[in-house]
Amino acid sequence: MDAIILQILNGLDKGSAYALIALGLTLIFGTLGVVNFAHGALFMIGAFCAVTLSRILNFSFETIDPGKTDFLGNPATVETAYLEHWFGPEVGGAIIDWSVPLAILFSIPVMLVVGFVMERGLIKHFYKREHADQILVTFGLAIVLQEIIKYFYGANPIPTPAPDAFRGSLDFGVLLGFDPNAIIYPYWRLVYFLFAAVIIGAVFAFLRFTTFGMVVRAGMADRETVGLLGINIDKRFTIMFGIAAAVAGMAGVMYAPINSPNYHMGMDFLVLSFVVVVVGGMGSLPGAVLAGFLLGILESFASMNEVKSILPGIDQIIIYLVAIIILLTRPRGLMGRKGVMEG
């Protein structure tokens, strides 16, 4: 039982990342009709916002320490962060320690600008082109973006730890009446799940309860009619692209302490997220979220030794297997709408 609960927690955690990326993908597809294969790259850029802010906060000056030598035997230089120099080791150190949560604030404007530039500079020229053209150009863009990141940050993963307060893990089992150490779950992964829930809730609330959101939803349902009412729907859709980019970016920031960011991480998530979108139903926001969590949990269960002993290798194909079954039985996905990518 404890193993099952642990895998459900794992699945919710994985599903959080899938759902956040798939949500952004669906927002872009639902509003602009663009299949954006560069969306994983936005997630990756978000993670590198955390790396960048961490480096900015760690800007240091060097002093020579005559008591130490470097690897060549020369007097060693000691680096002191300006923040620690200005505000003292405790306050300065605390600011540096909280660089990942602070990076959320840093990432929002950055990702809005990246999203805006991406949409106005390239993607808008492909609105009326075939989906195949859109996929090719956005996939190419994703490769360009990851190579740019690799050029500046290198190919190796860069450790970006969570604040000290969130390191370690929670003995979840004790809370549920199990033996100590039966169900241990890292604090930051719980934070990530809660964060994802808040962001998903905020996006839905924004679309449901604001006038802007209402117009966007109307535009998603019938773009032409909304345009005939004199509303500049294109402008709103461009803003939605920026919001989707910001959602992907924030998901990337918060993911940085879970797995050290590397230039390829966007691609690792992209294909899975597309499967999530298709399973959820193209253009369906609730479908994307539902499918994200569903596939995350299924993937976790498929990794259990008990399951793998019966079906070896199932952990590597489960998501695609479920996608095939769902698309055979429900061709529009779990919550897909009629007429989307049809005919």
- Chain residues in the site for another protein (CB under 8 A): 2-3, 6-7, 10-11, 13-14, 68, 70-72, 76, 150, 154-159, 161, 168-169, 181-186, 188-189, 258-260, 262, 264-265, 268, 299-300, 303-305, 308, 315-316
Task: For residue 61, count other CB atoms closer than 10 A to its CB.
Answer: 11
Angle at 222 between CA 219 and CA 226, to 5 degrees: 60
User: Which is closer to another protein, CB of 60 or CB of 94?
Assistant: 60
- Is the distance from CB of 256 to CB of 30 less than 8 angstroms? no
Q: Quote the least distance from Cβ 279 to another protein, whole Å.
A: 19
Nearer to another protein by Cβ, of 41 and 282: the residue is: 41
Judged by DSSP in three states, 131 sits in helix
30, 50, 126, 186, 228 from 202: Cα distances, Å: 18, 22, 29, 25, 29
Residue of 39, 35, 97, 29 whose CA lies nearest to 249: 39
**Which residue, 189 or 332, is less far from another protein as judged by CB?**
189
Residue type, 136: L
We find the least distance from the C-beta atom of residue 89 to another protein, in angstroms, to be 17
Residue 127 · residue 34 · CB < 8 Å: yes
Nearer to another protein, 60 or 239 (CB): 60
Nearest distance from residue 141's CB to another protein, in Å? 18
Nearer to another protein, 75 or 109 (CB): 75
260 class by beta-carbon count within 10 Å (0-12 exposed, 13-18 middle, 19+ buried): middle
The nearest distance, CB 49 to another protein, in angstroms, is 18
Q: How far is the CB of 137 from another protein (least distance, A)?
A: 21
Centre a 10 Å sphere on the Cβ of residue 5 and count the other Cβ atoms it contains.
Answer: 16
Distance of closest approach, residue 170 Cβ to another protein, in angstroms: 9
Specify the residue, 71 or 209, whose C-beta has the smaller distance to another protein: 71
C-alpha atoms less than 13 angstroms from C-alpha of 62 in its C-beta half-sphere? 5
Q: Which is nearer to another protein, 68 or 125 (CB)?
A: 68
Name the minimum Å distance from CB 187 to another protein.
9
